């Protein structure tokens, strides 16, 4: 088989907000082009993990090669790369987008532009994409295509006059979409098969039978079976064993030429050995320069994960190892906590990533976990000139040795119906936000804020959703580190600090956060024989205090004659209950107290 000429290849991606129908459209395209028979179509083919299907999100980039005979009678190869839509995976998104030349911008014809639509469309524009607007769900009664078209033009600045009108669910307009891909999106530019090999590592995943599968986009030259390749970023060498395309079944080919997207396997052991965005070249005839913009994934949010049952520690370790096989951006190292025992300090790309990993550990591996408060990376400038990156408040060095602390800031974009604007502005303000823009898109307010990331990792998104009744959308990107007046707040139960509950907070918010924490713990820790002070303290200064009063009465009045067995069984129950608690000094703290206390909300 010869390689497809560049002029007959279209590489594209679909950008959309969650629920605007991206996956449904992808499925329709696959079905129309005959990639899969009807019986093989499970709903949303490309989201292969259960969790992806359930949440309607894409975590790993997926790809599919379609064959389409256009109205001009020519056979085209269309490569669709389905990208993760969430900001946590912004880097992966940007790499996937760089593998394509164009995008379909899918917007729900009744809901309109959302924060995530914006973030993704800007990412596509960054990658120099040609963009075709597609209005989905036009058959719904609430659809207002004209208004939404205006909105696209107004907010994004794209000409939406010839937006394609479709209903992916009902199959309306699908041929128009295919035709637009061929006529309106550009063919890939590139060299010839004769050039030295230059390809982009778009993504990789682990397959139980084939090992690591690498998704590649060839730019120049040709990739073949048996070829000695080199990953330029990691300087690792491999021999290509299998090469082919994804339809979405894996179909073996002899080679991939310029402009083409496909997969290879090359006895690569772990996904961690392959870095998204890396340049692949031929070892003996390398390309002159690597692709720009390559960077390894960096976790930005951290938290401790501990097994509820200490006996599950080894199982947790094994489960994390398995997840990491397929997700190199997730990191973990062992951690011990006086309160929670043995566990792991884990790094994530963002909050959604954290939630997904935690949920997968619990669901796929049947583990009960306690997660400590999420933390960001703080940069500590020490008086001796050292710079320390701190991502566990428990590791905070002596404050007298710290010159200042910098914390990561983000640029947040929020879109909301007008009536919730007031409460959202207050929320942002309470979280130390600085408004940088506020404008209207029809009846929706669009605001941008500079916000410290550590205020956002604390249930900001949940609060936003709840105060806007689910209508506000939110997206962010990290902008850099800035000095902040941050202090470590310790929680003391019965005068002993509980490491798992300590956190770094802004001085202005410390008292309030401390008060909420103490109040919650007061509810969550059962009464003991003695009264228990609960304090929130910064350094030696107590900023909030609650007291759990002593138990008043706990005695069985009657002894059931000589039935000591009954009493002993009750005692055994009590003992078992105590075992489920974490002993802290003289205080027994139930597991739930850690879980609940960390679910702070104000």
In eight-state DSSP terms, residue 312 is G
- Are 338 and 490 in contact by the 8 Å Cβ rule? The answer is no
Choose between 366 and 583: whose C-beta lies nearer to other proteins.
Answer: 583
Nearest to 389 by CA among 377, 407, 397: 377
Choose between 286 and 585: whose C-beta lies nearer to other proteins.
Answer: 585
Choose between 284 and 575: whose C-beta lies nearer to other proteins.
Answer: 575
Least separation in angstroms between residue 309's CB and other proteins is 18
d(C-alpha 202, C-alpha 246), whole Å: 14
d(C-alpha 471, C-alpha 420), whole Å: 9
Beta bridge partners, 80, equal 12, 64
Q: How far is CA 478 from the centre of its chain?
A: 14
Least separation in angstroms between residue 549's CB and other proteins is 10
Least separation in angstroms between residue 531's CB and other proteins is 10
Which residues contact other proteins (rule: CB under 8 A)?
528-530, 551-565, 567-568, 570-571, 574-575, 578, 586
Cα-Cα-Cα-Cα torsion 325, 328, 330, 331, nearest 10 degrees, comes to 90
Least separation in angstroms between residue 452's CB and other proteins is 43
Residue 506 C-beta-side C-alpha neighbours within 13 Å: 19
Choose between 541 and 569: whose C-beta lies nearer to other proteins.
Answer: 569
Least separation in angstroms between residue 494's CB and other proteins is 11
Choose between 470 and 562: whose C-beta lies nearer to other proteins.
Answer: 562
- Are 514 and 544 in contact by the 8 Å Cβ rule? The answer is yes
3 state SS for 131-160: EEEEEECCCCCCCCHHHHHHHHHHHHCCCC
d(C-alpha 221, C-alpha 218), whole Å: 7
3-state helix vs strand vs coil in the chain, percent to 5: 30, 35, 35
Choose between 403 and 568: whose C-beta lies nearer to other proteins.
Answer: 568
Choose between 251 and 570: whose C-beta lies nearer to other proteins.
Answer: 570
Least separation in angstroms between residue 529's CB and other proteins is 5
Least separation in angstroms between residue 533's CB and other proteins is 14
Choose between 399 and 564: whose C-beta lies nearer to other proteins.
Answer: 564
Helix residue ranges, H only, 99-245: 115-126, 145-151, 174-184
Residue 335: other Cβ atoms inside 10 A: 21
d(C-alpha 201, C-alpha 214), whole Å: 7
d(C-alpha 9, C-alpha 261), whole Å: 10
Choose between 384 and 556: whose C-beta lies nearer to other proteins.
Answer: 556
Least separation in angstroms between residue 429's CB and other proteins is 42
- Are 256 and 214 in contact by the 8 Å Cβ rule? The answer is no
Residue with tokens 């947040």: 412
In eight-state DSSP terms, residue 35 is S
Choose between 387 and 564: whose C-beta lies nearer to other proteins.
Answer: 564
Mapping DSSP to helix (H, G, I), strand (E, B) and coil, where does residue 365 land?
A: coil
Non-local (6+) Cβ contacts of 11 within 8 A are 79, 81, 99, 100, 101, 102, 188, 217, 259, 261
Least separation in angstroms between residue 527's CB and other proteins is 9
Residue 400: other Cβ atoms inside 10 A: 6
Least separation in angstroms between residue 555's CB and other proteins is 4
Choose between 384 and 565: whose C-beta lies nearer to other proteins.
Answer: 565
Least separation in angstroms between residue 473's CB and other proteins is 44
């Amino acid at each position: 088989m010869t390689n497809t000429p560049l002029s007959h290849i279209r590489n594209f991606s679909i950008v959309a907000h969650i629920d605007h129908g991206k996956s449904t459209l992808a499925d329709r395209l696959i079905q129309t082009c005959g990639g899969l028979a009807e019986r093989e179509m499970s709903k949303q083919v490309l989201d292969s993990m259960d969790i992806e299907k359930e949440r309607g999100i894409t975590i790993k980039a997926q790809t599919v090669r379609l064959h389409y005979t256009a109205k001009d009678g020519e056979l085209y190869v269309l490569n669709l790369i389905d990208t993760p839509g969430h900001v946590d995976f912004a880097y992966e998104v940007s790499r996937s987008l760089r593998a394509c030349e164009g995008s379909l911008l899918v917007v729900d014809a009744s809901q309109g532009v959302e924060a995530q639509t914006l973030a993704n469309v800007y990412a596509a524009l960054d990658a120099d994409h040609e963009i075709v607007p597609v209005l989905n769900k036009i058959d719904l009664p609430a659809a207002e295509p004209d208004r939404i078209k205006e909105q696209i033009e107004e907010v994004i600045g794209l000409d939406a006059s010839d937006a394609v009108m479709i209903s992916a669910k009902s199959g309306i307009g699908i041929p128009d979409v295919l035709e637009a891909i061929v006529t309106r999106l550009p063919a890939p530019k590139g060299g010839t098969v004769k050039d030295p090999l230059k390809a982009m590592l778009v993504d990789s995943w682990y397959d139980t039978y084939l090992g690591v599968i690498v998704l590649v986009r060839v730019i120049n030259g040709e990739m073949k079976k048996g070829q000695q390749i080199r990953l330029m970023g990691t300087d690792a060498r491999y021999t290509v064993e299998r090469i082919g395309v994804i339809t979405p079944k894996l179909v073996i080919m002899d080679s991939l030429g310029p402009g083409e997207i496909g997969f290879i396997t090359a006895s690569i052991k772990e996904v961690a050995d392959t870095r998204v965005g890396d340049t692949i070249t031929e070892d003996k005839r390398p390309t002159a320069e690597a692709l720009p913009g390559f960077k390894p994934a960096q976790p930005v949010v951290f938290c401790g994960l501990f097994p509820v049952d200490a006996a599950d520690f080894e199982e947790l370790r094994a489960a994390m190892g398995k997840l990491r096989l397929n997700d190199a951006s997730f990191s973990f190292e062992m951690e011990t906590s006086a309160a929670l025992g043995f566990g792991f300090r884990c790094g994530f790309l963002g909050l959604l990533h954290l939630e997904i990993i935690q949920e997968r550990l619990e669901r796929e591996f049947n583990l009960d976990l306690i997660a400590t408060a999420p933390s960001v990376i703080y940069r500590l400038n020490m008086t001796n000139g050292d710079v320390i990156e701190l991502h566990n408040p428990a590791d905070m060095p002596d404050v007298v040795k710290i010159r200042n602390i910098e914390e990561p800031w983000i640029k947040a974009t929020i879109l909301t119906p007008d009536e919730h604007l007031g409460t959202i502005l207050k929320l942002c303000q309470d979280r130390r936000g600085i408004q940088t823009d506020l404008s209207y898109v029809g009846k929706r307010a669009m605001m941008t804020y500079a916000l410290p990331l550590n205020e956002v990792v604390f249930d900001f998104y949940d609060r936003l959703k709840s105060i806007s009744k689910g209508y506000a959308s939110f997206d962010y990107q990290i902008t850099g580190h800035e000095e902040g007046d941050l202090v470590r707040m310790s929680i003391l139960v019965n005068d002993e600090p509980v490491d798992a509950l300590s956190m770094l907070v802004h001085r202005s918010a410390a008292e309030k956060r401390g008060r909420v924490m103490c109040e919650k713990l007061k509810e969550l820790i059962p009464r003991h024989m003695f009264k228990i002070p609960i304090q929130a303290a910064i350094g030696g200064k107590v900023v909030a205090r609650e007291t759990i009063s002593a138990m008043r009465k706990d005695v069985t009045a009657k002894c059931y004659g000589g039935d000591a067995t009954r009493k002993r069984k009750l005692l055994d129950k009590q003992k078992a209950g105590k075992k489920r608690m974490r002993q802290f000094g003289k205080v027994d703290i139930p597991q739930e107290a850690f879980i609940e206390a960390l679910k702070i909300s104000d």
